[in-house]
Amino acid sequence: MTWEAMMAWLDNAPWARLAGALGILLAVALLVQAVTRCLIVRVVRIVVQRTANRWDDALLAHRVFHRVARILPYLVIQFGIAWVPDLPPKALMIVGNVALAMTLLYATLAIAGALDAAQTVYALSEHARTRSIKGYVQLGKIALYVVAAIAIVATIIDRSPWLLLSGLGAMSAVLLLVFKDTIMSFVASVQLTSNDMLRVGDWIEMPQVGADGDVVDIALHTVKVQNWDKTITTIPTWRLIAESFRNWRGMQQSGGRRIKRTLCVDAGSVGFLDEAEIARLSRLHLLGSYLTEKQRSLADANAALGALGIAAAVPANTRRLTNIGTFRAYALAYLKAHPNIHEGMTCMVRSLEPSATGIPIELYCFTNTTVWAEYERVQGDVFDHLLAILPEFGLRMYQNPAGADLVRWQGQRAA
């Protein structure tokens, strides 16, 4: 068939001309897609891998370039459909609107990928530890998807987006109900960030939800906490504003962690020290100066009582050293001399109110490390030493009778 005969046949067969034009348009669109995916995207990948910039790596990782490349075939269809002959106006409008809707869809996905890339780049910066933008990125993506959905639906049905938005006004109550958690989470996220209440890496405790560990992620709707047993607790963001939680960041930044623990001394072992016991305890290098000064002050006080005519020969009339007071002085001197106790923070040893479990002697001090394992080691060493040295002062720890104690007492009673 000659060219003139073919053209004459096409003039007499509009459907063939239409099918041919649509086939050519589809082939051009597929060719553009193949060229962009096999050539442009590969070139961009090679260029990105040779640069030291973080932005292009993040954009490539989140497939922003791939999604932009997917727009080009639909642009070819959108602008090329008008050149197809004998296409009904209704079909022209439908194909053009669908192509425009797909263009908007991939443009939206590309913008969302760019937002994710921005979050990735920001997470590598120093500011990410103090200010998390993940919640804002997620909120921006939600708003982007809502606007894009309205625009795509309006494009497909060939209506103005403002018409759909006017209809949404009547559904505001429903929208508030649907997005209630999102709105509450966004407000909570803003408050947490603006007031610097929570950062990634903070150690927090929230017993009501079973959270005790490090914050590993702060998102719009949830905060993830990795507990010390390596489990993950997911907390709704709004609960961190509505309820209380403990943040240990202040302790970690101060450089010291508090030791606050008591030794319960048996009240029956408390008594005065005699001269022999004082002489023996004076050989302890931590008590030498304390006992010397204390004996001098007690001697002066007792001499003043004698000058007033009070009989100093009666022990009850004089001031004397007690074993529990001397032990408190020793414990304080031991803490101040300990290399792992913080010198610039509060350090004291005090007696609390006696109870049915004895006389509590409380140690209140701070270690010079915040590392958990080191803290526990220092605390254990301190109390191991003080428990072991209690008998040197004639003191006993209070302890409820155990089975072995009852058996021993029964045997002694039988004997």
* CB-CB neighbours of 94 under 10 Å: 14
pLDDT at residue number 97 = 78
pLDDT averaged over the chain?
Answer: 80
d(CA 356, CA 159): 82
At 61 the three-state DSSP class reads helix
188 CB-near residues (< 8 Å, 6+ apart): 237, 238, 240, 241, 242
**Lookup: tokens for 330:** 């020793």
d(CA 279, CA 14): 123
pLDDT at residue number 351 = 93
Strands (E), 209-313: 211-218, 222-227, 232-236, 246-247, 257-265
Task: Write down the architecture of domain 195-247 according to CATH.
Answer: Roll (2.30)
Measured between alpha carbons, how far is residue 141 from residues 146, 191, 223 in Å? 8, 20, 18
d(CA 343, CA 358): 30
Residues in the chain, total: 415
**Lookup: tokens for 251:** 């302790």
d(CA 304, CA 335): 34
Kind of pairing, strands 222-227 and 232-236? antiparallel
pLDDT at residue number 105 = 87
d(CA 101, CA 338): 73
d(CA 335, CA 118): 50
Q: Where are the domains of the chain?
A: 11-178, 195-247, 255-271+322-415, 275-321
**Lookup: tokens for 209:** 């939800």
55 burial level (CB within 10 Å; 0-12, 13-18, 19+): middle
- The residues that bridge with 246 in the sheet, in sequence order, are 205
pTM above threshold 0.75: no
* CB-CB neighbours of 221 under 10 Å: 18
pLDDT at residue number 86 = 62
Q: Which residue in 324, 379, 384 sits closest to 350, CA to CA?
A: 324
d(CA 84, CA 87): 6
d(CA 219, CA 185): 9
pLDDT at residue number 1 = 47
Low pLDDT (below 70) residues in the chain: 1-22, 25, 82-88, 92, 126-132, 162-178, 194, 305-317, 402-406, 409, 411-415
Q: Phi then psi for 373, rounded to 5 degrees?
A: -60, -40
**Lookup: tokens for 190:** 């803003």
Task: Write down the architecture of domain 255-271+322-415 according to CATH.
Answer: 2-Layer Sandwich (3.30)
pLDDT at residue number 6 = 46
Measured between alpha carbons, how far is residue 6 from residues 11, 23, 26 in Å? 9, 17, 22
